[in-house]
Amino acid sequence: MLQQCQRKATCRCSTVQNRGCGVIGMEQSYRSNMRSLSVDYSHGGKPTGFDVASMDVRAWLQQWPRVLSQLETLVVGLKRRQVSGPYNCAQFTVELYRNLVGSCKWGTAGQLMDAVREVGKELVAAKPSELAVGNMVRRVLYIIRDEYESAFSAGDGSGGGQAATSASLTSPSASRGGGGGGGGHGRANSRGESTPRGAATGGAGGAAGTAEGGGLGPSLTGMLGGQFGATDFGRSCPDLRQNVVASISELMTELRDMRGVIKEHAKDTIHANEVILTFGNSATVDAFLKAAAGGAKDGLNFRVIVAEAAPLCSGHVLAKSLAKHGIDTTVISDSAVFAMMARVNKVILSTHAVVANGGLIALNGSHAVALAANDLSVPVVCVTGLFKLCPLFPHDQDTFNCLLSPAAVMSFKDKDSMRNVEVLNPAYDYIPPNLVDLYITNMGGLQPSYIYRLLAEYYHRDDLIISPSDEQAS
Amino acid sequence: MFSHLEQNRGVLPLTSKGDIHPAILALGRKYSSGEVTGATARAVAMLMAFKQVVMDYSTPPDKMLSWDLDKRLRPMMQYLIDCRPHSVSMGNAHKALRNIIAKSPPSLPEEEAKASIVDKIKEFINTRITLAANEIAKNAITKIRDGDVILTYGRSSLVESVLVAAQQAKRGSFRVIIVDSRPGVEGRQLSETLSAEGIPCTYVLLTAISYIMREVTKVFIGASAMMSNGAVLSRVGTAVVAMMARSHNLPIMFCCETYKFCERVQLDSIVYNELGQPDDLISDASGGDVDEFKALPSLKLLNLRYDLTPIKYVTLVITEFGFLPPTSVPVLIREMTRREDKDEKY
Amino acid sequence: MDEGRKVISDDFARQLSPETALPVAAIKTLIGVIRRSTNTTIRGMEAELKEAIQLMEDKMETDSPDNSRSTISLTSGCQLFLRHVSRFVAESVGEEGFDESCKQQLLHRGERFAEVSETSREQIARLGHNFVRDGTVVLTHGYSRCALHLLLMAAETKVTLACSLREGRPDGAGFKAAAALSKVGVPVTVVLDSAVGYHMEMADLCVTGAEGVLENGGIVNKVGTFQMAVLAKAYNVPFYVAAESYKFARLFPLDQRDLPKGKIPRAPFAAPEGTPESVATFSPSVDYTSAEYITLLFTDLGALTPSAVSDELIRLYGEA
């Protein structure tokens, strides 16, 4: 029999799925009941949807072929490196999740988060070295948590106070907002005000507005406020879908506009007649330097030295692009970096990822550049979008690295003459945080020691481990 | 920024000037094409060519050998410099040659004088270069222990002979990491030689230096010249390697014969350097098209040949006289100058 | 009141055990105080708690004068608990009307706080053990249950791991830690305190505990920690500290001698025979390591950089 969904009419889901009849029968019943679903509430009371314990996420997604095919395309694209670069990977990932949240029928917030996690596992496993994918998965999870919790703490004290945790002691004070409905939620609800919705999605400004305990992670304040234990995500929340989709759309806008925001800082960072050194190619650095150079009338006059970044020599691409824009550019080989550093005013680097301690995972060879700059007291500025911020720690050079084909270093036809020689071609370098002087991000200028604060604003501690490969790096 | 530096003009046309010996002409061509490269190789080739010149020389009547020969050699040296700016090693060798000629006793008959000069040239090569290299190898291998992972940069003939000697002397099992860089990837030749000797080798480009450095226990690098302020002039990229090694607290040892010691002081790499062919930076590997680059007026290519490693990155210098801290370089130079003046034997 | 003091004293003594951390025992004692309290005003309750804290501190000093444990963590844990009480009250009741149900809630929260504090070591170990990679050599100092727990967990999951422990004179704490580690099969070497420089070039990372974590992210720990940290920095060896969050103290010392006097017990060591009387000996039992030498702090709040510690404390104590 069909049962009406507990949620409001705005929810597109009008049926609830079969849950009870045993695991074995599950697969067949899904496949055969793709369109019209029969329902049997054998477990009574609990809303159904994606149950991570008993179903494979792809099987569940087969009911929404567009989403499933989007997932499969993305997984294949990541594996084959057709989708590459943190920016592209992040965009596709977020798009996929928007469709998933919007189109698929999930029961409760907890089930949605399970589905998001399972899909995330697949994506991260497709390309573990692409940290931006995992970051976006964690951002979506955080969005869901945040929307869920603000739905229950924003003013409706009666329903909201009854969290299933020991935070029952907060219920009389819920209307005074003692810590909100559940674990680790450190928002400034102590005055009873509802948190602005926009604050959840990547706004450092929003977090600054919530004075204490910005973010959902644990904190001393949180501990004293009585937030222990995990939140129960099993309650139904009518507006959750549209709120989450709206927040994810905001995230997509943030991604899209990222470079535009970063460019605004260009003229403050670079001054006239300076010599800037950069390494390899990056669209963000390209846009940044071009913004500083400006037009013929208002532009700054400065020189750029580009280190070519062997073996792929991506620096050549950047140099040509800058020269076409009229910027005085010189290409040097990577070996000349130290020699040239004595005449350089600033180093501007891009990065593949920013890690939890404020360090960088950057293009192979960047560490030498940063070290040389440090030695000669040249400021190192890293230009990056915050979607590259990853809450994991790098334990050594191998943690987020991968070895690429040695053919780029030495072609296979030369190999005959070097029979017993091992050739290595690592993809990335780890740059410790003390070598970076400034980050210029879509949230403005930041110092490396501030990065940990942003982690709490974007990610929740329980979401750190998406896939098994993350456990090694947590 | 680099207008004060000499640019490699490429291969000069072989204008046969009457007073340039064919051996010098041939050598000049080899210099500018890059066929003969490396401080030691260039110095030895130069001395051998000049030896030939001396042997073919005949003193004109009424002229003193020492004075005339010196005058004859000057345009030849200038020709070589025009083909490619000379290295410190060549400069020092040339100075020694001029010294030998100047000290040639005027009373000697021509054939004897020539023979004596040729002998002294041979002695110089033998003592200051060949035997010195053997001594350096002997000294250096005492620093190589079983289980060492040795890193070297580019190809230095000295370091090559040290490592080969170490392998042959069976100083335990060690392996070598060769760091190389574009455009002149000389390290490949070294890795061929070493792996032929049975030494396990790893080959990486300079960009991988941070990744590979954690495995390394020692660094051996060759030098083009040793400055009086303890800094080392060497193949461009050496400073990067030394800096990275220092940040991992590894010893950085430079192998350098004393004839490469230079009285000059140098503070950074720009003050004195040599520019190579800019087009070498663009190669098939980078997928570049030279014309594309030339079409953009704002785009320049810079191909530095040398860089200067500051004294703080030099742990020690291995010479034929033993181990030397970099602060003692001017002391040794003073000592050598004193001996030369007294014309003492080494 | 003496009766009451005796009860508190006994309670405290009972809570103390080798396994329980000092602050946790203190917090449990304070919970007991609240439970037994007959006060009806919040001021009275706070005064009673403060008195109890003072009592416990005095007890620590008098009972074991040569006990090299400093009371910094005791003070910080108690301050935190006091802060918790006053915040809760400010949130829920205001200045009066401290009734039975409020007290129950307070007790409940306090108990949860104590529970969390007890499990914090587990959390820290889980967080930090991944930083100890396969085949690394770890250098550690002193007997810290927190750091040891981390290493033991690392030993379970890693293939090879070797530890060097400093002797930890004058009380030889290093040997105690070494015994615990070698029981699980970790190859351990105990080295002379003076030989840290010699061994630092072989070490891949350093781990210690802390008696107290200071406002600037620095730590107070067994004497000898500071020199190990300085050497680690010279050799670019990461220096990690494992500490529970109740050890965060509101102290900001400027130098070694700026720590509160009463909190630094001496650790006397015997001079060899024949030393003349005029030769004085002096040895503090703890020293101060400033934040610049510390790479990361593993706490139950996560892996924090030293600057994050200050942020936590500001957020906590910053508002009225």
Answer yes or no: do B90 and B148 share one domain: no
**Chain B residue closest to A418 (CA)?**
B192
Instruction: Measure in Å the smallest separation between the Cα of B214 and chain C Cα atoms.
Output: 11
Contacts of residue B106, defined as CB under 8 A and 6 or more positions apart, other chains included, come to B64, B65, B66
Render pLDDT for A309-348 as a digit per residue (tens, 0 to 9). Answer: 988 889 999 999 999 998 999 999 999 999 999 899 999 9
Kindly report which listed range (A3-17, A415-429, C185-199) carries the lowest average pLDDT score. Answer: A3-17
Answer yes or no: do B42 and B185 share one domain: no
Comparing C-alpha atoms, which of B184, B182, B186 is closest to residue B159? B186
Phi, psi of C212 (to 5 degrees): -150, 145
Instruction: Measure in Å the smallest separation between the Cα of A173 and chain C Cα atoms.
Output: 6
Residue A360 pLDDT: 93
Residue C263 pLDDT: 54
Residue A362 pLDDT: 94
**To the nearest whole percent, how much of chain A has pLDDT over 90?**
33
Q: Which chains neighbour A (Cβ–Cβ under 8 Å, 3 or more pairs)?
A: B, C
- Do A199 and A150 form a contact (C-beta atoms < 8 A)? no
Q: What is the band of C16 on the pLDDT scale with cuts at 50, 70, 90?
A: confident
**Within an 8 Å CB–CB cutoff, is residue A393 touching chain C?**
yes
Render pLDDT for C235-272 as a digit per residue (tens, 0 to 9). Answer: 989 999 999 888 888 888 888 877 765 555 566 677 77
Please state which of the four CATH numbers 1.10.287, 1.10.1750, 1.20.120, 3.30.9 is assigned to the domain occupying C2-121.
1.20.120
Instruction: Measure in Å the smallest separation between the Cα of C269 and chain A Cα atoms.
Output: 39
Render pLDDT for C215-238 as a digit per residue (tens, 0 to 9). Answer: 888 999 888 899 999 999 999 899
- The answer to whether residue B157 is domain-embedded is yes
**Chain A residue closest to C305 (CA)?**
A357
Phi, psi of A182 (to 5 degrees): 140, 180
Binary contact (A176, C92; C-beta < 8 A): yes
Has residue B265 got a pLDDT over 70? yes
**Within an 8 Å CB–CB cutoff, is residue A384 touching chain B?**
no
Instruction: Measure in Å the smallest separation between the Cα of A174 and chain C Cα atoms.
Output: 10
Residue A16 pLDDT: 32
Has residue A1 got a pLDDT over 50? no
Answer yes or no: do B205 and B328 share one domain: yes
Instruction: Measure in Å the smallest separation between the Cα of B168 and chain A Cα atoms.
Output: 18
Q: What is the CATH number of the domain that holds B94?
A: 1.20.120.420
**Within an 8 Å CB–CB cutoff, is residue A339 touching chain B?**
yes
Instruction: Measure in Å the smallest separation between the Cα of B216 and chain C Cα atoms.
Output: 13
Class of domain A264-410+420-454: alpha beta
- The answer to whether residue B335 is domain-embedded is yes
Q: What is the average pLDDT score of chain A?
A: 74
Instruction: Measure in Å the smallest separation between the Cα of A371 and chain B Cα atoms.
Output: 8
User: What CA–CA distances, in Å, run from C294 to C239, C254, C312?
Assistant: 5, 16, 17
**Chain A residue closest to B283 (CA)?**
A313
Beta bridge partners of residue A381, listed in sequence order: A348, A438
Return the structure tokens found at B97: 């040659």
Render pLDDT for A366-376 as a digit per residue (tens, 0 to 9). Answer: 999 999 999 99
Q: What is the band of A213 on the pLDDT scale with cuts at 50, 70, 90?
A: very low
Q: What is the average pLDDT score of chain C?
A: 80
Q: Which residues of B touch A335 (CB under 8 A)?
A: 181-182, 206, 235-237, 240, 304, 307
Is the pLDDT higher at C141 or at A212?
Answer: C141
- Do B194 and B201 form a contact (C-beta atoms < 8 A)? yes
**Within an 8 Å CB–CB cutoff, is residue A268 touching chain B?**
no
Binary contact (A357, C312; C-beta < 8 A): no
Q: What is the band of A259 on the pLDDT scale with cuts at 50, 70, 90?
A: confident
Render pLDDT for A119-175 as a digit per residue (tens, 0 to 9). Answer: 999 899 998 888 999 999 999 999 998 888 888 776 443 333 333 333 322 223 333
Q: In sequence order, which ranges of A264-365 are alpha helices (DSSP H)?
A: 266-269, 283-293, 314-324, 337-341
Helices C306-317 and C72-92: crossing angle in degrees, nearest 10, is 40
Binary contact (C92, A178; C-beta < 8 A): yes
Strand ranges across the sheet with C136-140: C188-191, C161-166, C136-140, C205-208, C239-242, C296-299, C302-304
Mean pLDDT score, A20-38: 35
Which span out of A432-446, B63-77, C110-124 was modeled with the highest average pLDDT?
Answer: A432-446
Binary contact (A320, B299; C-beta < 8 A): yes
**Where a domain ends, among B99, B132, B165?**
B132
Q: What is the band of B15 on the pLDDT scale with cuts at 50, 70, 90?
A: low
Range of the domain at B175: 144-344
**Chain B residue closest to C234 (CA)?**
B249
Number of domains in chain B: 2
Render pLDDT for B93-118 as a digit per residue (tens, 0 to 9). Answer: 999 999 888 888 888 888 888 899 99
Q: Which residues of B touch A418 (CB under 8 A)?
A: 188, 191-192, 195, 201, 203
Instruction: Measure in Å the smallest separation between the Cα of A355 and chain C Cα atoms.
Output: 12
Q: Which residues of C touch A210 (CB under 8 A)?
A: none
Return the structure tokens found at B134: 């053997």
Provide the CATH number for the domain formed by C126-317 in this structure: 3.40.50.10470
**Within an 8 Å CB–CB cutoff, is residue A336 touching chain B?**
yes
Comparing C-alpha atoms, which of A80, A84, A61 is closest to residue A71? A61
Q: Which residues of C touch B248 (CB under 8 A)?
A: 236
Residue by residue, DSSP assigns A61-120 as: HTTSHHHHHHHHHHHHHHHTTSS-SHHHHHHHHHHHHHHHHHHS---SHHHHHHHHHHHH
Q: Which residues of A touch C318 (CB under 8 A)?
A: 212
Residue B151 pLDDT: 96
Q: Which chains neighbour C (Cβ–Cβ under 8 Å, 3 or more pairs)?
A: A, B
Instruction: Measure in Å the smallest separation between the Cα of B249 and chain C Cα atoms.
Output: 7
Q: What is the average pLDDT score of chain B?
A: 87
Answer yes or no: do B98 and B184 share one domain: no
Kindly report which listed range (A111-120, B1-10, B23-32, C239-248) carries the lowest average pLDDT score. Answer: B1-10
Cα B74 to Cα A157: distance, rounded to the nearest angstrom: 98
Answer yes or no: do B223 and B245 share one domain: yes
ipTM, two decimals, is 0.88
Comparing C-alpha atoms, which of C28, C30, C9 is closest to residue C118? C28
Binary contact (A368, B268; C-beta < 8 A): no
Domain ranges for chain A, please list them.
2-129, 264-410+420-454
Has residue A206 got a pLDDT over 50? no
Has residue B280 got a pLDDT over 90? no
C144: Cα within 13 Å, side-chain hemisphere: 29
Return the structure tokens found at A338: 């130290």
B-side interface with C, Cβ within 8 Å? 247-249
Phi, psi of C52 (to 5 degrees): -60, -40
Return the structure tokens found at A233: 């995500």
Q: Which residues of B touch C203 (CB under 8 A)?
A: none
- The answer to whether residue B14 is domain-embedded is no
Cα A311 to Cα A243: distance, rounded to the nearest angstrom: 46
Render pLDDT for A47-64 as a digit per residue (tens, 0 to 9). Answer: 346 676 777 888 888 888
SS3 call for B221: strand
Among B210, B218, B249, B315, pick the best mutation site for testing chain C contact (most C Cβ within 10 A). B249
Cis omega before residue B109 (within 30°)?
no
Q: Which residues of A touch B197 (CB under 8 A)?
A: none
Q: Which residues of B touch A343 (CB under 8 A)?
A: 1, 270
CA B331 remoteness from chain centre: 21
Q: Which residues of C touch B216 (CB under 8 A)?
A: none
Binary contact (A397, B192; C-beta < 8 A): no
Binary contact (A316, B286; C-beta < 8 A): yes
Binary contact (B247, C201; C-beta < 8 A): no
Among A335, A376, A399, pick the best mutation site for testing chain B contact (most B Cβ within 10 A). A335
- Residue linked to tokens 């995992």: A134
Answer yes or no: do B31 and B75 share one domain: yes
Over A343-393, what HEC string results?
A: CCCEEEECCCEECCCCCEEEECCHHHHHHHHHHCCCCEEEECCHHHECCCC
Render pLDDT for A88-108 as a digit per residue (tens, 0 to 9). Answer: 999 999 999 999 888 888 878
Among A276, A327, A338, pick the best mutation site for testing chain B contact (most B Cβ within 10 A). A338
Has residue B229 got a pLDDT over 50? yes
- The answer to whether residue B281 is domain-embedded is yes
Contacts of residue A175, defined as CB under 8 A and 6 or more positions apart, other chains included, come to A157, A161, A192
Mean pLDDT score, B50-58: 88
Binary contact (A176, C319; C-beta < 8 A): no
Q: Which residues of B touch A309 (CB under 8 A)?
A: 207
Answer yes or no: do B174 and B110 share one domain: no
**Chain A residue closest to B195 (CA)?**
A420
At A289, the amino acid letter reads L
Q: What is the band of C297 on the pLDDT scale with cuts at 50, 70, 90?
A: very high
Binary contact (A424, B211; C-beta < 8 A): yes
Residue C59 pLDDT: 79
Render pLDDT for A164-203 as a digit per residue (tens, 0 to 9). Answer: 333 322 223 333 333 333 333 333 333 332 223 333 333 3
Q: What is the band of B6 on the pLDDT scale with cuts at 50, 70, 90?
A: low
**Number of cross-chain residue pairs from A and C with Cβ atoms under 8 Å apart:** 86
Answer yes or no: do B148 and B126 share one domain: no
Residue A457 pLDDT: 86
- The answer to whether residue B16 is domain-embedded is no
Q: What is the CATH number of the domain that holds B211?
A: 3.40.50.10470
Residue A172 pLDDT: 32
Residue C318 pLDDT: 61
Cα B292 to Cα B295: distance, rounded to the nearest angstrom: 5
Has residue A7 got a pLDDT over 70? no
Is the pLDDT higher at A435 or at B59?
Answer: A435
Residue C10 pLDDT: 78
Of A166, A173, A357, the CB nearest to C92: A173
Binary contact (B293, A372; C-beta < 8 A): no
Kindly report which listed range (A117-121, B242-246, C143-147) carries the lowest average pLDDT score. Answer: C143-147
**To the nearest whole percent, how much of chain B has pLDDT over 90?**
40
Has residue C39 got a pLDDT over 80? no
Binary contact (B304, A429; C-beta < 8 A): no
Residue A95 pLDDT: 92
Q: Which residues of C touch A223 (CB under 8 A)?
A: 113, 116, 245
Comparing C-alpha atoms, which of A433, A458, A430 is closest to residue A443? A458
Of A213, A228, A471, the CB nearest to C116: A228
**Chain B residue closest to C201 (CA)?**
B249
Residue by residue, DSSP assigns C234-272 as: HTT--EEEE--GGGB-----SSGGGS-GGG--B---PPP
Of A223, A393, A453, the CB nearest to C116: A223
